Amino acid sequence: MRPIEIPDFSFNSPLANVVIELERLRGDLGTSTTPSEVFGQLKQLFQLMTSIMSARIEGNRTSILEIVEGAQENTARDRSVRSAAPDFSDGVKEIILLEEASKFIDEHIHAGTTISHALVRELHRIAVSGLEREGDRTPGSYRTTDVVIQGSDHRPPPFASIQADMQELLDFINQEMDRKFDLLKVAIAHHRFVWIHPFGNGNGRTCRLLTYAIMVSQGFTATTDYRAVDPTAVFGADRESYYRHLEAADSLEPATTIQWCTYLLGGMLKDLRKLNKLGNHDFVVDELLVPSLERARQAGIISLEEFEALKIFAVRTTVKATDLSNVVLGSSVVRSQFIRRLINRRLVEPIAEGKRSYRLVMAPGPLTPFILRQLDKLEFLPQILRDDA
């Protein structure tokens, strides 16, 4: 097996151009007119989208509406462990577990965190526990048998070498390198993980979670504000192309590794160019949120009074009851009752426990399908999510 390393490539190559442009956009991530409270909601929305995409790549065809309803119910139950309720369908459970694994990354990984065997195994454990069709007999443990990947010519290494192979991969991931190599490291690590195939099942989902964790550890994604930088959207744009490029790189030759890196980073560049628009608060309000609210009003999900009130939430970011005095007529008690009804329907939520300032709920909630439809209209959704958006 070839050692894991950054292949040599020309400064004038397409890959070099993509790396340079991604680094430039990376510097723009911290410059935004969109308030952090809105980014917090966008983060939840894109986290849900990413989980759906990752599951759909593996063949999960659960409808977005069913997923949103399940995720909303799971949130309402305020579960104390990272799991999904047993009464959910297997398809919904799979996505809820991916959500929980993503939250685990956001809570435990930060810039400079070492990526360890324990982290990889924990991501796998969370992602597959309790599933039937897409579960694993030994959640959180490397496989103890040899496997064959259906539909692929690649034969993963024998189980006896997995610990050593994964150690080499982790050493590569944690190796100190110049910052300009960060995303190349992400691309190469993603392919090598799939090539090793360390688990009996759930390797694709775990690999995509690990890829995001690596990017967080590199400081590429600020988990407190903006979670849109994630290559899963690239894979969801064309599932078959994703698998073709992965398989082409299985030779581990420098030329095919460069082709894989160019594919992945080129897709991320296209995605990031679109997502950077979300750093413009006027764009978020005028092009995304208000049209989504109008869609919900036309569908009868919200009343005209609620539509006018929720527009204030969209524009002001955080709202107090007094801010609604021109829309919700009557006493302060009437306005408080109005907000309570919005909270109960998960249209808005307090910005923090015990606070009397509130914000719009983008996901999961009744507005989520309408926001996704507007994102589709704005050409933000990859193909794998567009079927029923």
Q: Which CATH architecture has domain 281-386?
A: Orthogonal Bundle (1.10)
**pTM of the predicted model over 0.95:** no
Which pLDDT score is estimated for 255?
A: 95
Task: Enumerate the domain spans of the chain.
Answer: 14-277, 281-386
Single-letter residue type at 210: L
Contact 381, 56 (CB under 8 A): no
Angle between helices 304-316 and 332-344 (to 10 degrees): 90
Which pLDDT score is estimated for 223?
A: 45
> In which residue are the tokens 């292949």 written?
7
Which pLDDT score is estimated for 34?
A: 85
Which pLDDT score is estimated for 383?
A: 83
- As averages over each run of 10 residues, the pLDDT of the chain (389 residues) reads 90 91 73 80 86 92 88 68 69 94 93 96 97 94 93 91 97 93 94 97 96 89 52 86 93 95 92 82 96 98 97 94 94 95 95 88 93 92 74
Which pLDDT score is estimated for 82?
A: 57
To the nearest 5 percent, what fractions of the chain are helix, strand and coil?
60, 0, 35
Render the burial of 344-376: b for 16+ CB within 10 Å, e for the rest: eebbbeeeeeeeeebbbbbbbbbbbbbbbbbbe
Residue 218: which of 94, 352, 103, 105 has the closest Cα? 105
* Residue 346 dihedral angles phi and psi, to the nearest 5°: 60, 40
Burial environment of residue 181 by CB neighbours within 10 A (0 to 12, 13 to 18, 19 or more) = middle
Contact 198, 161 (CB under 8 A): no
The CATH number of the structural domain formed by 14-277 is 1.10.3290.10
What pLDDT digit, counting tens, does each position of 189-220 carry? 999 999 999 999 999 999 999 999 999 998 87
Contact 232, 208 (CB under 8 A): yes
Calpha distance 71→52 (Å, rounded): 11
Q: Detail the DSSP E strand segments found in the chain.
A: 348-350, 358-360
> In which residue are the tokens 């608060």 written?
281
Measured between alpha carbons, how far is residue 131 from residues 83, 85, 202, 209, 350 in Å?
A: 10, 11, 10, 17, 33
Contact 183, 22 (CB under 8 A): yes
Calpha distance 227→275 (Å, rounded): 10
Contact 47, 227 (CB under 8 A): yes
